[in-house]
Amino acid sequence: MTNNGKIKQDKILTAIVGSYPKPKNIYSKSGRELLDTLGFSFGEIEKKIGNKAFKKRLNKACLAAIRDQNIAGIDFITDGEERRSHYVFHILKGLNGLDFKNLKSVPYRGGIFQRDVPVVSDSIKYKKPILINEFKFTKKHAETTPKIGLPGPSTVVDCVADEFYRGDLEKMAFDYAQAIHHEVESLIEEGCRVIQFDDPVLLRFPDRAKKWGLKALEKCFNGLESKATYIVHICCGYPNKPLEAKGIRYKANADYYHDVLSWLADSKIDIVSIEGAQSKLDLSVLPSIGKKTVMLGVLDVGKEKVESVDWLTRRGKEALKYLPPKQLILGPDCGMLELSRESAKQKLKNLALATKVLNGEVI
């Protein structure tokens, strides 16, 4: 499936974005509450049962997530990110320059949210490998291609409190990119060939993305382009029913996809993961990606209702009006941690079956 580090694709493939539902014996609250607390409430059960017992539960949860994907027949598999308290902070805790003990309340995502976040107290630098063991575990148990995710620079600088860079977000983003470049190198040395950067803020602030965000993203793997396939995930934001109930607009504007995709068409990124289900994206925007591959969200991660094989097949056929099969991957809009495991399992099974129909593998 790989060719000199790059994925060789000749048909429609499937993937999950990153996270999978977290079992109640790891996190006793809902996935929504985990997101609302930015992961800082993760580990409450660990305090009760001890680190060793908690790690066993994490291993079991990761294995269950991988097995569900194996059974469904997903092409790009993660460990469900079950070990991660938060998709950004889990990584930042492994870097120098951030204070997680003295949090500071700041607005982020354009002032939509106000949260206690870690403080950048010094220049961001690399310490040691962060995700190697997670990747090795996934590689051992995945029956198809293992994938690992890292937060992108634009998203990192948007959810921390800056007390060192004096507002120079570009400098902070490039320092993060330089630090995480070492992690990318370590993952590649371990055999990782698919690396994803979760950078939804690129879509929220397109002017920033055009000025320096995409450059910072490319710096994360500069000089390593031929060693792996690189994905960037840019959704409109996790579903948030409490805000929806209040009539608060919290998602990034999907209309920005046209410009951002056209810029990424000229980048060193190989695959762009976008939200297409909850936003009911007009798929006529897909050709903006040029010769790159689109990982199109067709599963709504904010609804328990399982999309039918027929509906997914029709959505896939619509996408094929604009892109050839070799440029299309189907997946969820975003991480699946807000769903129940039962819903997530069936959604993935239907996704894989619909993809087989589209590829002419079943009638």
What pLDDT score does 130 carry? 97
- Residue 206: helix, strand or coil by DSSP? helix
Query: CATH code at 20?
Result: 3.20.20.210
Q: Where are the beta strands (DSSP E) in 43-192?
A: 76-77, 95-108, 113-126, 145-146, 148-151, 161-162
The rounded percent of the chain whose pLDDT value lies above 70 is: 98
Is residue 6 in some structural domain? Answer: yes
Span 304-334, pLDDT tens digits = 999 999 999 999 999 999 999 999 999 999 9
Name which of 37-46, 274-283, 284-293 the model is least confident about. 37-46
User: The whole model's pTM is what?
Assistant: 0.96
DSSP per-residue codes, 18-50: S--PPPTTT-SS-HHHHHHTTTTTTTHHHHHH-
> Of all helices (H) and strands (E), which one includes residue 331?
strand 328-332
Count of domains observed in the chain: 1
SS3 147: coil
pLDDT in tens, 55-96: 999 999 999 999 999 999 999 999 999 999 899 999 999 999
Domain membership flag for residue 72: yes
Confirm whether 344 is domain-assigned. yes
Using pLDDT thresholds of 50, 70 and 90, give the confidence band for residue 243: confident
Domain annotation covers residue 114 = yes
Q: Is residue 101 part of a domain?
A: yes
**Residue 4: predicted pLDDT:** 66
CB 179 within 8 A of CB 133: no
Q: How confident is the model at residue 42 (pLDDT cuts 50, 70, 90)?
A: confident
Q: What is d(CA 7, CA 194) in angstroms, rounded to the nearest whole number?
A: 8
In a domain, 333, yes or no: yes
Average pLDDT estimate for 252-258 = 93
Task: Please give the Cα distance from 345 to 171 (Å, whole number).
Answer: 41
> Does pLDDT of 179 surpass 90?
yes
Question: Which domain covers residue 62, as residue numbers?
Answer: 2-358
Q: Is the pLDDT of residue 3 over 70?
A: no
pLDDT of residue 17: 98
Residue 353 has pLDDT above 70, yes or no: yes
Gyration radius from the chain CA atoms: 19
Establish if 363 belongs to a structural domain.
no
